[in-house]
Amino acid sequence: MQNKEIRFRSRPTGLPTLENFQIVDADVPKPNDGEVLVRTLFISVDPYLRGRMREGRSYVPPFEIGEVISSGVVGEVVESRSPKFRPGDIVTGMFGWRRYNVGKAEGLMKVAKAGSANTGTAGVSPASVSITTALGVLGMPGLTAYFGLLDIGQPKEGETVVVSGAAGAVGMTVCQIAKIKGCRVVGIAGSDDKNKYLHEELGVDAVINYKTVQKPDRQGGPSSAGGMLQALIEACPRRVDVYFDNVGGEVSDAVLPLLNQGARVVICGQISLYNLDKPDVGPRPQPYLLVNSALMKGFIITNYAPRFPEGVMQLAQWLAAGKLKYAETIVTGFENTPQAFIGLFSGDNLGKQIVKVADA
Ligand SMILES: NC(=O)c1ccc[n+]([C@@H]2O[C@H](COP(=O)([O-])OP(=O)(O)OC[C@H]3O[C@@H](n4cnc5c(N)ncnc54)[C@H](OP(=O)(O)O)[C@@H]3O)[C@@H](O)[C@H]2O)c1
């Protein structure tokens, strides 16, 4: 057993580069009582990790220089000093970007029992789904979609729901839950292939490619939201009741003028701003909220931790019933983890971006 780990070498300026990471050999740690040694199978790379790469206050402490990057992992227990797990169990939890990690048993969740193919995440997912769903549709992104849309967005039948970042892990789950709730769904994503998937595979009613609609405006003048606004007017004949925002910036600027009375704006993510070094300047949202008696609310998924079992159960039932689908983009090779993370900012992924480190 040879361990390797990926350390945070330097704080990025703008888009992160491979120079910001360092891959080094390390010892395989020994578990103490109540701990397990876990062999990494899959690593989740997530946009919020960019926030941890800058100094200063956020909802999660920043990475220190030299620290091992950490995120969600699915792995196999190879040694257990806890009665909760035995070797061969597949578990998920927060771990360092390492081939082998030691973790406290109480912080881990069983995805599959030793010797079985897949008994399902938390024992509730359909046996046919991959263990990687613990990092996607049945994990943090799926729960983010579920609670953000249903608790804050509160979509009602017949309403129009607009989703930015619609072809990502959170976004495509939001689109489908909104369809389950009987809404007209408009998805905004960055490629025609992604939009084709949203429309043809997931039943999203209308789709907008924000990269192509904005081009004429960028060349033609300062109003870069113009092309988006026109596309949204066409896609939303009854305007917008719920806006689930994963990206922020110019895409979101264009949605604000179309809000309906009593609209709800769910601030889930602002990925278009994560690599900026200075605060972005855009239209002020207050007048749109005021005249429409609209709500804009941000949230962090961990706020909902006590209700996670409810969310996983419902998502798993929808999966089993064929009402919910998921897509994953899987990059192979531990060393490719930083590049997979960087690729999130150019939209390399359809659905959940995962790195495969080893076979189960
Ligand atoms: N509030 C919470 O607790 C919480 C939890 C999880 C995630 N989030 C947030 O939710 C959002 C989605 O997360 P995810 O994990 O599902 O990631 P994801 O959507 O699977 O991946 C990121 C996607 O963002 C799009 N993107 C990248 N740069 C962009 C830009 N400049 N403008 C517009 N779109 C851009 C890309 O798709 P295109 O090809 O469409 O550009 C890319 O595929 C992120 O903002 C994330 O920070 C929040």
- 24: phi then psi, degrees, rounded to nearest 5: -135, 155
Residue 350 Cα to ligand 1 middle (Å): 11
CB proximity list for 243: less than 8 A, separation 6 or greater: 161, 162, 164, 252, 255, 259, 263, 264, 265, 266
Residue 49 Cα to ligand 1 middle (Å): 11
Which pLDDT score is estimated for 26?
98
| Amino acid symbol at 342 | I
Distances (CA, A) of 245 to 162, 248, 251, 338: 8, 6, 9, 25
How many other CB atoms are found less than 10 A from the CB of residue 302?
Answer: 12
Which pLDDT score is estimated for 226?
74
Q: Are 95 and 103 in contact (CB under 8 A)?
A: yes
Asked whether the CA dihedral 120, 121, 126, 130 is positive or negative, the reply is negative
Question: Would you give per-residue pLDDT tens digits along the chain (360 residues)?
Answer: 899 999 999 999 999 999 999 999 999 999 999 999 999 999 999 999 999 999 987 888 999 999 999 999 999 999 999 999 999 999 999 999 999 999 999 999 999 887 665 544 545 555 568 999 999 999 999 999 999 999 999 999 999 999 999 999 999 999 999 999 999 999 999 999 999 999 999 999 999 999 999 654 444 444 555 799 999 999 999 999 999 999 999 999 999 999 999 999 999 999 999 999 988 888 999 999 999 999 999 999 999 999 999 999 999 999 999 999 999 999 999 999 999 999 999 999 999 999 999 998
Give the atom of ligand 1 at the shortest distance from the alpha carbon of 268: 1
Is residue 286 classed exposed, middle or buried when 0-12, 13-18 and 19+ CB atoms within 10 A define those classes? exposed
CB proximity list for 336: less than 8 A, separation 6 or greater: 355
Residue 342 Cα to ligand 1 middle (Å): 12
Give the atom of ligand 1 at the shortest distance from the alpha carbon of 272: 31
Q: Are 81 and 35 in contact (CB under 8 A)?
A: yes
Pairing of β 352-356 and β 21-26: unpaired
Residue 271 Cα to ligand 1 middle (Å): 5
User: Where does ligand 1 bind, in terms of residues with CB under 6 Å?
Assistant: 46-48, 140-141, 144, 165, 167-171, 189-191, 194, 246-247, 251, 268-272, 299-301, 344-345, 347, 349, 353
Please, what is the Cα angle at 269 between 268 and 275, to 5 degrees? 170
Q: What is the pTM of this model?
A: 0.95
Residue 168 Cα to ligand 1 middle (Å): 6
CB proximity list for 39: less than 8 A, separation 6 or greater: 75, 76, 78, 99, 100, 358
Pocket test for ligand 1, best of 191, 246, 308 (most atoms within 8 A of CB): 246
Which pLDDT score is estimated for 222?
44
Give the atom of ligand 1 at the shortest distance from the alpha carbon of 148: 1
Which pLDDT score is estimated for 60?
87
CA distance 46 to 156: 30
Which pLDDT score is estimated for 119?
46
Residue 211 Cα to ligand 1 middle (Å): 15
Structure tokens given for 69? 């990057």
Give the atom of ligand 1 at the shortest distance from the alpha carbon of 298: 1
